[in-house]
A and B are shown apart, each in its own frame.
Chain A
Amino acid sequence: MKLLKLFVFSSICLSGLFLSTSTAWAHGERSLEPFVRMRTVQWYDVNWSASTVAVNDELTITGKVHVAEDWPNSLPKPEAAYLGVIAPGPVFLRKERWINGEAHLNSLPLKVGRDYEFKMKLKARIPGRYHIHPSFNIIDTGNVAGPGQWVEITGNANAFTNNVETVKGEMINLETYGTANGVRWHMLWMILGIAWLVWWVRRPLFIPRYAMVNKGEEDKLVTPKDKNLAKAILVAVPVIVLSGYFVTNSQYPETIPLQASLDLIPPLPEQADLVNAKIKRATYNIPQRSMMMMVEIKNDSQKTLQIGEFTTGSVRFINSNMKIDASHTPPEYLATNGMQIEPNDLIHPGEAKVVKIMASDAVWEIEHLSSVIGDADSRFGGLLFLFDDQGNRYLSSISASLIPEYK
């Protein structure tokens, strides 16, 4: 009775524990080491075409990545990378994917120090509210997530269709194609397998058979009928298998092996090196959640420039004195008042100037970027954006060792 009570009590406790858990919505996007997120692919201009779509409708994700010059020494160079989508399963389908205007069906090598522009067309499949990230899965580096946006899919999942056309012009629905055929073959073999088991299980099994084997009477345990059935199996099974094989070959005479090529897509044309930014010293103050950079900037362009933004690990620190459109960036990645620049002046053509940039916000902690000071490779990297008076943007990739300040 005591045992029963204990069992009932434990069951109630366990049930309560399971019922009290909530759904996990994150994808581990903040768990990748900060030096990887800050110094491999650096995301910018990421945009989602909508925040609500209906089942069967399209969502387009566009954006750019800069492949950091200061690629971490502990990671191999990006010889194969794959633009992906991080989502809770196939709630969207990826229907098209383009890099620099070229089709991107397979993995591609990335060139360090260069930029790539991407576009993905997704088709809504399962209703719900999901956090959708673009990501670059890089061989031996991991899945580097870009910023994520909440997107709601409305409508009815049963209304979803996914038709594609084969080379021979046959239209097929990928949601159901081949399912019935596969289930039929599995059922056939399962029935035959279970029949063979029943053939033996219908007779006494373990204790009497064990006793007879020990008495040396094992020959009595396999009857001539059993042997005839086994002979029939040895003939029938290969006949069914080979018949199925040849009939299938005649049904599908034109098949090809799985494709395993690598896309070769050149990066965007290289921009003229008009702005050179070099970090003289950088510190991160842990209690204040604040990064300080002393940056020497040389303006080799013909325009007067002003620092507008520092972005790293998808987080954007924006100079509040400038009008920079950040409407397409989810608010959790924005530190609109977190950037202070001293002196916050214009940098004239040909001028070289050392400026102090403060990037302060709780987002360092929230996005787990501050833990870069605990990495074996305690360097950070990011992109510095400068703008001329006509709104043209000049990009400079920066990186440096980061000194922690504990007080």
Chain B
Amino acid sequence: MSTISVSTGFDKETATVSRIYDYLILVLAGFLYIGSYHLHFMLTVGDWDFWLDWKDRQYWPLVTPVLMIAWPAAVQSVLWTHFRLPMGATLSVVGLMLGMWITRVTAYQIWTNYPLNFVLPATMIPSALVLDAILMLSPSFLVTAIAGGASFALLFYPTNWPIFAMFHVPIEWQGGLQTIADQFGFEYLRAGMPEYLRIIERGTLRTYGQMAAPLSAFFAALLCILVYAAGWYIGKAFATVRYLKRV
């Protein structure tokens, strides 16, 4: 019997039932997070994560963490406030990654014949681990929002660069310059995805020349702080037992 069960005064049978309940909730929550977070991710980040030739240095490191942090923040709010479990962010992101890998392999590779390298997802597990660790060690919503939210965004680009840098090697094609990622977009047919639809390298951030990625990352860090706070309070608002007479 664990120290937690001893502390709550559970007898052996109650502790066993409680443990079974844990696993039931975990399985259900796992599917819930995989499904709902994945849906949220596909509808918001969408093409930036689906395709190699969308992962630019300006919008990709800005859009992805900002749109992804709300969900981990909400789950952290529930699990930390009511259970002192500092795994909300990691649970969400690991669930998301499982969902994404299932989709990329089945829907993109097996079903529609895209090679896996063209649809490799980005990972945010390091950002999530750091977010959980900061929440546990602080343990403060405000510190987590500022330090954790900023780290969540700042770690995104360097985390994924080892996966995607090799696709930025230049090639010459029909007398023009392309990255390997651009070449994927050119060769592997996507009827609804013309080149002009990609939202890459647009806007005045280009004024800073080669510094677009770090600037985007710092801007994302600022936004992540705010979005984290919003996500936390959304989680708090939904984590209610007001409809349950007894627990």
Contacts and interface: CB of A to CB of B under 8 A. Distances in A.
Contacts of B90: 193, 196-197
B215 interface: no
Interface of B: 2-5, 7-8, 10, 15, 18-19, 21-22, 25-26, 53, 55-57, 81-87, 90-91, 93-94, 97, 101, 112-117, 120-121, 123, 125-126, 128-130, 132-134, 136-137, 139, 155, 158-159, 161-184, 186-192, 194-198, 200-202, 212, 247
14 contacts: A27-B191, A106-B176, A125-B113, A174-B184, A177-B166, A192-B126, A193-B129, A222-B84, A249-B165, A251-B166, A252-B165, A257-B168, A258-B56, A259-B176
Contact of B129 (A81, A210, A233): A233
B148 to A, nearest CB: 10
A105 B168 contact: no
A135 B120 contact: no
A270 interface: no
Contacts of A143: 191-192, 194
A212 B184 contact: no
A178 B196 contact: no
Contacts of A126: 113
B104 to A, nearest CB: 10
Interface stretch (A5-13, A89-97, A288-296, A314-322): A89-97
Contact of B21 (A125, A164, A196, A206): A206
Contacts of B187: 90, 93-95, 162, 174
Contact of A210 (B10, B26, B82, B155): B82
B15 A259 contact: no
Interface in A74-113: 80-82, 84-87, 89-98, 103, 105-107
Given A179-B120, A193-B128, 12 more contacts: A84-B194, A94-B187, A164-B180, A164-B183, A182-B164, A192-B125, A193-B129, A204-B2, A206-B25, A222-B86, A242-B158, A255-B168
A346 interface: no
Interface in A223-265: 226-227, 230-231, 233-234, 237-238, 240-242, 244-245, 247-249, 251-252, 254-260, 262
Nearest to B166: A178
A213 interface: yes
Interface of A: 27, 80-82, 84-87, 89-98, 103, 105-107, 125-126, 135, 137, 139, 143, 162, 164-168, 170, 172, 174-179, 181-183, 185-186, 189-190, 192-194, 196-197, 200-201, 203-213, 217-218, 220-222, 226-227, 230-231, 233-234, 237-238, 240-242, 244-245, 247-249, 251-252, 254-260, 262
A249 to B, nearest CB: 7
A240 B173 CA distance: 35
A220 B83 CA distance: 11
A91 B189 CA distance: 8
Contacts of A135: 191
Given A230-B136, A247-B162, A201 B26 contact: yes
Contacts of A206: 18, 21-22, 25, 83
A262 B79 CA distance: 49
B177 to A, nearest CB: 6
A238 B180 contact: no
Contact of A178 (B3, B91, B120, B201): B120
Contact of B85 (A200, A234, A255, A259): A200
Nearest to B115: A175
Please indicate which of the listed interface residues A92, A170, A172, A205 has the most CB atoms of chain B within 10 Å of its own CB. A205
A166 B191 CA distance: 26
Contact of A257 (B3, B83, B179, B186): B179
A135 to B, nearest CB: 7
Nearest to B247: A210
A203 B196 contact: no
A208 B2 CA distance: 10
A107 B173 contact: no
A166 B129 contact: no
Nearest to A79: B196
Contact of B123 (A86, A186, A211, A245): A186
Please indicate which of the listed interface residues A126, A135, A234, A241 has the most CB atoms of chain B within 10 Å of its own CB. A241
Given A182-B120, A204-B19, A212 B85 contact: no
B49 to A, nearest CB: 13
A256 to B, nearest CB: 5
A197 B91 contact: yes
Given A89-B112, A103-B175, A222-B86, A181 B170 contact: no
Which 4 A-B residue pairs are closest in the complex by CB-CB distance? Answer: A82-B194, A103-B174, A255-B168, A245-B158
Please indicate which of the listed interface residues A125, A139, A254, A257 has the most CB atoms of chain B within 10 Å of its own CB. A257
Contacts of B120: 178-179, 182, 186
Contact of A217 (B7, B129, B177): B7
B87 A196 contact: yes
A121 to B, nearest CB: 10
A186 to B, nearest CB: 6
B189 A177 contact: no
Given A82-B194, A206-B22, A212-B8, A90 B189 contact: yes
Given A186-B97, A213-B83, A166 B174 contact: no
A255 B232 CA distance: 38
B10 A208 contact: yes
Contact of A90 (B114, B117, B159, B166): B114
